[in-house]
Amino acid sequence: MSGFDFMIVVPAFLAGLLVLATHIPLGAQVLKRGIVFIDLAIAQIAALGVIIAGVGELDPHGWAVQGAAAVAAGLGALLLTWTEKRWPEVQEAQIGVMFILAATAGLLLVAHNPHGGEHLQDLLAGQILWVSYDQLLLPAIGAAVILAVLWIFRGRLSRLGFYLVFALAVTMSVQLVGVYLVFASLIVPGLAVRHYGDRLRLPLAYLTGVGGYAAGLVLSTIYDLPSGALIVWCVTLLAIAVYAAGPKRNKF
């Protein structure tokens, strides 16, 4: 790999580290609460906010777009809080409905845009390989705030507090790495380590995510393949190996 390629990979890898920093502990909470598809729903709603901002011809890299995504994700979090309180027995189904509504709303909004399909593809698969250092400042600040909140409350966040923190994390990450990598970063490492002891679970989850991002970025640069899709596969394959090497669950 050439030096030029290496310089491209560095900011992309840092972006992956920022995403993993918050998504690994949040993903553990998602698995514990049994609301696995909340990340897809909130990510898609944040992406819808970006699309709405694009329809308004706002600067795609400006603060207004970040604000639109944050407002959309926050409103989605408030709605999910209300639905979980009102109809908790069907919360997972309601999350699925919100996801499909946000996804189809995005399709309708870009239907007459000649570049709409490309924009949707970028939001789903991401463009992590082309992340710049300037784009990392706001996510770094946000990640520090989120980690501080998670450390202070240590699993004692209220339903509303959890959804709002989750919405903030997803709002920042979806524009860095795309919806697919948001889901993979949240869920796959947590699945890999679920049978490990408490002391090993979090470190191994981080190692799984970091290793998958590193391998995916390097391989995508060498073989000129889509980075986001390849990282998803690398994280998943590494997670399978970590799970297979771990303690076996007693079937009896």
User: Which amino acid does the sequence have at 63?
Assistant: W
pTM of the complete model? 0.86
The CA distance from 217 to 220, in Å, is: 5
Tokens of 119: 């924009």
pLDDT tops 50 at residue 94: yes
- Domain 3-245 adopts which CATH fold? ABC transporter involved in vitamin B12 uptake, BtuC (1.10.3470)
- C-beta separation of 30 from 186 below 8 A: yes
Tokens of 188: 């796959």
Residue-by-residue DSSP string for 130-164: G--GGGGHHHHHHHHHHHHHHHHHTT---HHHHHH
pLDDT tops 70 at residue 61: no
> If pLDDT is split at 50, 70 and 90, which confidence band does 4 have?
very low
Residue-by-residue DSSP string for 47-90: HHHHHHHHHTT--TTSHHHHHHHHHHHHHHHHHHHHHHHH-GGG
> If pLDDT is split at 50, 70 and 90, which confidence band does 155 have?
confident
- C-beta separation of 228 from 212 below 8 A: no
**Domain residue spans in the chain?**
3-245
> If pLDDT is split at 50, 70 and 90, which confidence band does 62 have?
low
Closest to 179 (Cα-Cα) out of 17, 77, 69: 69
Residues 6+ apart with CB under 8 A from 146: 22, 26, 165, 168, 169
Average pLDDT over residues 74-99: 90
pLDDT in tens, 197-210: 989 999 999 999 99
Residues 6+ apart with CB under 8 A from 153: 161
